Amino acid sequence: MTKKLMRSLVPAMALTLAVGMFTGCSGGSGESSADTSAGDSSGESVSSDTGSTAKDTLIIATANETPSVTTNEHNAVAGGYMNILTYEGLLRRGMDMKPEPCLAESYKAISDTEWEFKIRKGVKFHTGEEMTVEDVKASLDWAQNFPLIKTSTENIKQVDIVDDETIKITTFEPCAIILDNLTGTSNAIVPKKLIDEGNNFNENPIGTGPYVFKEWKMGDSLTFEAFKDYWEGEPKIKNMIWKIIPEGSSRTIALEAGEIDFIVEVEAMDYDRLAGNDEVAIYEYDATEHNWMMLNNEKPGLDNVNVRKAMDCAIDKESVIAVALNGRGTAIYSQAPNNMPGASEENVNSFDIEQAKKYMDESGVDPASIEMSIICSNDTKKRAAEVIQANLKDTLGINTTIESMDLATYMSVTAEGNYTASIGNFTSSDMISFLFGVFHSKSIDGSNKTRLNNSEVDALIDKASATIDATERDKVLQECISLINTLTPQVPLYQPVNFRAYNANLQGVEVSPSGTLYFEDVSWK
């Protein structure tokens, strides 16, 4: 059974529950059978039986080296894709962004706080051992130990084994996003034996996913190999190589030359060039990705709400989009995405130079006293920062510097609060997860990088999470977002029109609005 077909076979009860509760919601074992050297771009193997030549390798270019390949750390786009190659959870995210069965073949609610999951039989880990309910319980319990992923584990109170094919998950209170939380690799199922042994999953990532991790050449590439015993059948593409190519133009040239097959982060300035190439296909989609200038609310000057409002009003977001994205994006003014249920633009700031100056005067803060460096992890963010730098200087007299750094360093310093400002983003499939991850005080030192700590905001997010009725939940979300807009913890910039570029001879490419892409569905024509 193909994955696409299987994904449509959601049990009636589970589907009813999911639709009612959600309106939208982030060295393997075995011998290598093929040469997966990143230096070989041919991607071809010759069959000794037929003498035919067939492509069995996919080479993917990404702008940044992934910070990790484990399940319990924050990651970026490419790292997220690598995670779902290797790991799976009880549920996964469908192209409609709704949860659907994965390692659990079915599920049902037995009360407002209790869910039962029937575990799929015959699933094997990359070690060759079959997954059991003991592995499931151990994995979900283990995930509770990592603060960086607590947005996905926070609500789970207890995991119990019902029988040899069923587990029960109990939440602390009614939780509208429990199914969504179980779709992420944060709650991936890994072998209990390896957990007990203290396995370092960043060095030896073992899961049940369609690909087995083989090699990590730091600064160069990561290699994966199709898992022959994958429960949905071995993927058609046998070898997958992720090449790290920081320069956007270099990624474009490599795709045009046939040296790579797929670009994850396409250089916006090269869109027209690639779209006009018959040998290149473009997959374009409206993303839930929310981009902003993060401000560390604990830093002097930036701890003043009127300073933050002044910055928000001083920045010409249309200019940011024109320069950073070549015009391919939509300016946003709310602190949360506009294309999710519960969105609100109440109390937003707009581009208004005179109002910006007024807010700055009302703050009582001397612009010259603000020491601000905007950190960036890629060329697009740097171009955005350059527009912002000019706007803040010309309108408010605030001097800024711009600093570029690799993604791993960027994610570390922003999570720890060792910065003043940065160009960042967050993608989610539902509003509650977004708000919890970006603004809840429990996410400080994790994904709440503005370090906003507001008890009223926390209470509204918690209330929304515990509100099962979708209409009532959206009202709470709107109230919460309106309040956050008033606080202006960061400067919203844009939601991009995202796209992926790839060899036109590939098929099966599909990307959801939240960026989900299952590479095991991709094959050569």
How much is the average pLDDT of 250-256?
97
Total-model pTM: 0.76
How much is the average pLDDT of 196-216?
96
Instruction: Count Cβ atoms below 10 Å from residue 409 Cβ, excluding itself.
Output: 12
How much is the average pLDDT of 329-348?
91
Above 60 in pLDDT, residue 21? no
Over residues 105-122, the pLDDT tens digits come to 999 999 999 999 999 999
Closest CA to 398 of 318, 490, 315: 315
Q: Are 422 and 396 in contact (CB under 8 A)?
A: no
pLDDT attached to residue 6:
39
pLDDT attached to residue 19:
30
Q: Which of 50-59, 181-190, 212-221 has the lowest mean pLDDT?
A: 50-59
pLDDT attached to residue 152:
78
pLDDT attached to residue 75:
64
Over residues 274-319, the pLDDT tens digits come to 999 999 999 998 778 899 999 999 999 999 999 999 999 999 999 9
How much is the average pLDDT of 439-444?
93
496 or 3, which is more confident:
496
Confidence band of 368 (pLDDT split at 50, 70, 90): very high
Above 90 in pLDDT, residue 491? yes
pLDDT attached to residue 76:
65
pLDDT attached to residue 428:
81
Question: How do the domains of the chain map onto residue ranges?
Answer: 290-497
CATH fold of 290-497 reads Dipeptide-binding Protein; domain 3 (3.10.105)
Above 80 in pLDDT, residue 249? yes
Over residues 447-490, the pLDDT tens digits come to 899 999 999 999 999 999 999 888 999 999 999 999 999 999 99
42 or 151, which is more confident:
151
In terms of residues, how long is the chain?
525
pLDDT attached to residue 7:
40
**The one-letter amino acid at 269:** M
Q: Using CA atoms, how far apart are residues 515 and 519, in angstroms rounded to an integer?
A: 12
Which residue, chain included where needed, has tokens 């499939």?
A: 429
| φ/ψ (deg, to 5) at 52 | -80, 160
Give me the chain's average pLDDT, please.
87
Which residue, chain included where needed, has tokens 């300073």?
A: 307
Which residue, chain included where needed, has tokens 């612009």?
A: 367
pLDDT attached to residue 286:
78
64 or 51, which is more confident:
64
How much is the average pLDDT of 21-39?
29
Give the 3-state secondary structure of residue 392. helix
10 Å CB burial of residue 65 (0-12, 13-18, 19+) is buried
pLDDT attached to residue 497:
84
Q: Using CA atoms, how far apart are residues 155 and 23, in angstroms rounded to an integer?
A: 19
What is the percent of the chain with per-residue pLDDT over 70, rounded to a whole number? Answer: 88
Q: Are 85 and 214 in contact (CB under 8 A)?
A: no
Confidence band of 513 (pLDDT split at 50, 70, 90): confident
What is the percent of the chain with per-residue pLDDT over 90, rounded to a whole number? Answer: 70
Above 60 in pLDDT, residue 174? yes
65 or 374, which is more confident:
374
Above 80 in pLDDT, residue 127? yes
Q: Are 181 and 433 in contact (CB under 8 A)?
A: yes
Q: Which residues of 143-179 are buried (b: 16+ CB within 10 A; e: fewer)?
A: beebebbbbbbbbbeebeeeeeebbebbbeebbbbbb
pLDDT attached to residue 89:
96
Q: Are 155 and 181 in contact (CB under 8 A)?
A: yes
Above 50 in pLDDT, residue 53? no
Q: Using CA atoms, how far apart are residues 142 and 156, in angstroms rounded to an integer?
A: 12
- CA atoms lying within 13 Å on the CB side of residue 323: 17
Q: Which of 6-10, 200-204, 337-341, 409-413 has the lowest mean pLDDT?
A: 6-10
Above 80 in pLDDT, residue 220? yes
Q: Are 151 and 184 in contact (CB under 8 A)?
A: no
Confidence band of 402 (pLDDT split at 50, 70, 90): very high
pLDDT attached to residue 288:
82
